[in-house]
Amino acid sequence: MSEYTAPLRDMQFVVEELAGLDTVNQLPGYEEATADLVQAVFEEASKFASGVLGPLNRAGDSNGAKWKDTVVTTTPGWKPAYEQFVEGGWNALACPAEIGGQNLPRLVSALVEEMWNAANISFALCPMLTRGAIEAIELRGSEHLKETYLPKMVSGEWTGTMNLTEPQAGSDLAAVRTRAVPQGDGSYKIDGQKIFITYGEHDLTDNIIHLVLARTPTAPEGVKGISLFVVPKFMLNDDGSLGERNDVRCVSIEHKLGIHGSPTCVLAFGQNGGATGYLVGEENRGLEYMFIMMNAARYSVGIEGIGLSERAYQHALAYARDRVQGTEAGVKGSGKVAIIRHPDVRRMLMLMKSQTEAMRALAGVVAAAMDTARVSADAAQQAQAQAFVDIMIPIVKGWSTENSIDIASLGVQIHGGMGFIEETGAAQYLRDARITAIYEGTTGIQAADLIGRKMARDQGQAAKTVIASMRATAESLQGAELAAIRESLTAGIDAFDRCVQYVVTNYGADARSVSVGSVPLLKLFGIVAGGWQLARSAAIASQHIADGKGSDFYKTKIVTARFYADHVLAQAPGLAHTVIDGASGALALADDQF
């Protein structure tokens, strides 16, 4: 079974040459994020990922978290690894300095996060949720809540969770029934049950800070009546030390297809009189606040997909180089060769490689925009960056995670029959990846958000701005070497443009028909956006080669972009047909005809 090695050269290329680190480190607070510092951070993160987290990945899958009498025990080795994670300062990488963080740009932390997920996604889920909880408290919590909880959450001494859904609610948060009754002293008694709570109970830290959606007695029905509460596992004494256990218990953990090392908990609040909680912000604005966590988590889940794709690719590549089977097609008298010499295996490896690099590049560019939107002193620049981030979040999340499933499946296919055997390890990436397209809103939910809130609501303005940038890139591709990439990218942009016009024109009058094509449109957008970034990569590489700075790395960038243009971008016109003309067949049958 191959070990994970972080793709540091490609990460460096994304950060420095595609996403513009030199621009990001001119933003207020990011001045110290120089190329040398970022490289040093990446190298240390790579060592931790491959040396500590990677070796635990298989154990987490085969010997996952255990539940007994409300207590959850993580996989052997998990706790020491988490202690090293905290000691290394990794939990606080992108947190603001004023709350104890290291204040590195999201552009940097996102690619470090990819390393954690590639090495061991089950482990990485815990700090990912903690970071989301930190951000929600930081932006909407009272000064008392910030002072009480953030220092130890930022350090990693305590972890955080997101408690949204309930057995009867699923993704419909309007159906949340957990109750929060004010006690007259500023606290609330929380009573209800939450399901699918990642790391809702574990033995890694002394305390867990739950962010919980609940309704007060006077709350209106629906999503406008939801409030957000901090509910600690342990109450705190006046001196900040841990006090009595709060009335929240893990009543079971789920038995899952994958991510076995990550405990997915059912939490009961208030079985013995009520759990004590503290309001975040104002009553009835909880869903608004929770979306701070949600959007951060959606981007991070996209990073999970990229990490898993990279890991599956590395695993399949190692196998293809070692597995000797068959003779080489078209070579007379060829002896037995490694399967990497077979054309179809090469095609599959290139599908894995090119799409993973496209996703990483797009996520890096979006992360740089996040940094601009967060701290730029220029209000217009902030607004422009935020508009780009908002429309791209469903793509980073939805497209990257759907791709990760396909890429992990290709990894199994390259292994042949051995891929179906658990001992080779290829199947774990497929099983682990499958949840990513469901986490934090299914692909259908991401796509509905894309066509409704992100396209129809603003008459496609944000999408048109992206299209203009894509066209500028396509028009800049010069020379015979880049001609095929330019042609395919232009056709993809045209296809996407037609779909945006279709959504803007028809969504208001016939949202149901337009919604049939929402997921194909998300896929189309992702494919074209990824092609855009690979085209930019090819142009940069071509210029380096022209300047005499050629290397195998840059030559490979051009080949990879060309492959993507021929095998992935080429799908765009067909997807556009599905988006624009595919509704009638999907909606024609009566329910009982299925």
Sign of CA dihedral 29, 157, 86, 205: negative
Do residues 189 and 180 make contact, with C-beta atoms less than 8 angstroms apart?
A: yes
CA separation, residue 179 to residues 5, 191, 494 (Å): 47, 5, 50
Q: Which residue in the list 221, 440, 475, 481 is annotated as catalytic? A: 440
Query: Which string of b and e fits 539-563 if b means at least 16 CB within 10 Å?
Result: bbbbebbeeeeeeeebeebbebbbb
The structure tokens listed for 285 are 């604005």
Distance CA 574, CA 572 (A): 5
CA separation, residue 405 to residues 191, 248, 358 (Å): 37, 35, 15
Indicate if 83 belongs to the active site: no
- The DSSP string of 390-421 is HHHHHIIIIIHHHHHHHHHHHHHHHHGGGGGS
- The DSSP string of 298-364 is HHHHHHHHHHHHHHHHHHHHHHHHH-EEEEPTT-TT--EEEGGGSHHHHHHHHHHHHHHHHHHHHHH
State the DSSP code for 186: S
Distance CA 84, CA 88 (A): 6
Do residues 127 and 113 make contact, with C-beta atoms less than 8 angstroms apart?
A: no
Query: Which string of b and e fits 72-97 if b means at least 16 CB within 10 Å?
Result: bebbebbeebbeebbebebbbbbbbe
The structure tokens listed for 403 are 């791709």
**What's the one-letter identity of residue 254?**
E
Do residues 424 and 418 make contact, with C-beta atoms less than 8 angstroms apart?
A: yes
Please state whether 140 falls in left (phi above 0), alpha (psi between -120 and 50) or beta. alpha
CA separation, residue 388 to residues 168, 393, 398, 462, 581 (Å): 35, 9, 16, 7, 28
Q: Just list the catalytic residues.
A: 440
